[in-house]
Amino acid sequence: MAAAVIERSWRDSTPESVEDDLASLWRDIAGNGPSIARAVMANLIVFRFHERRARPSDQPPLGTDDAIEALIGLHPSRTIVIENQRGDNAEQSPTSAGVGISVFGSAATRYGVERIVVRSACADVSLPSIVRRFLRGDRPTSVWWTEDLSRDVPSDALVDLARQLIYDSRTWHDVRSGFDVVAPLATSQRIDVADMNWRRLDPIRRALAHAVDGLQPGSPPRLSIRHRPGEAALGWLLAGWLAARLHPPRNAWPSIEQSPAGDDVVTLVIDDGATRVTTTLTEDRVHVSRAGMAPIVIPSPREQPAEAMAAELRTLSRDAALADALAAIGQRSVES
């Protein structure tokens, strides 16, 4: 559950006066009530372009101030928001900045989290020098890439600043291009990758551990995946995870196709010739059916976006299962 915001302070600034203006804001807040703690568990770099594209959801769009505030209330992080202008820009300094402090807790027990917004119209190579001055060197750094990775690729210089890259493959316009970007990052281990979409597969992965017990050994089973419109990335992630576990030959890779719109997010059918197992993921449960067995139903918890991302920031480690799935997808792309 997101922490409650009890106070906000904001001030326009310049890149040169960010730290002085933040210090001034802290003095103002401290003088307005009981003592306040400065909370900073990590550095969080949020990248977004100037224009924000709306997306249909009942949650704040990725990277907006409301979404950032919901996240840092759960995992306090010194947040550096880079608002870059889209296009072929030259190497230059940022154009303007702003600083803010969001205060959480209760009137008697308060903690504040800093946010720095830097607006720029510069080449990718200039971003590290802009960001580096604001990072706390004794805290881990994550990059939250709010843009569509299949269209807008983070620069190597920005990736090298952090140990974790957070993104959501559900927003990709071109699924294959998105995997072409993240698969090499995951396999090279340059940075830990965290896909918010991947977390949605956790209940179906747990259910499959029970469903496949007793299938006939020998030749690989036939695997087919159907996903509803807009869930192609989730279907490919499931296929990659299965391929990483089963190591099927090229001609036995899971088939992936789009199904008509409906409540079912993704459906997997495993058929070894003697037994057929159907596993279906909906928004609230996983249903597994198999001849001769009672159906298995596992609830699928619905995480709020801020809760899911805070969990990734707290874990801050390599997700081996995701990395293996991305490696399998990357290999499949090379062979295709």
CA 150, 153, 159, 162 torsion-angle sign: negative
Select 199-299's CATH number: 1.10.10, 2.30.30, 3.30.360, 3.40.462: 3.30.360
Average model confidence (pLDDT) for the chain?
Answer: 86
What backbone torsions phi and psi does residue 99 show, to the nearest 5 degrees? -130, 150
Closest CA to 130 of 161, 151, 103: 161
Closest CA to 266 of 320, 327, 330, 208: 208
Q: What confidence tens digit (pLDDT) does each residue in 124-151 have?
A: 667 777 888 899 988 999 999 999 999 9
Q: Return d(Cα 317, Cα 12) in angstroms, integer.
A: 36
Q: Return d(Cα 293, Cα 210) in angstroms, integer.
A: 11
Helix axes 175-188, 232-246, angle to 10 degrees: 40
Tokens of 182: 């993240």
Q: Cα dihedral angle (145, 77, 316, 199), rounded to 10 degrees?
A: -60
Q: What confidence tens digit (pLDDT) does each residue in 183-226 have?
A: 999 988 889 999 999 999 999 988 887 665 555 555 678 899 99
Residues of the chain with CATH 3.30.360: 199-299
Q: What confidence tens digit (pLDDT) does each residue in 55-112 have?
A: 444 445 555 788 999 999 999 999 999 988 766 555 556 678 899 999 998 878 899 9
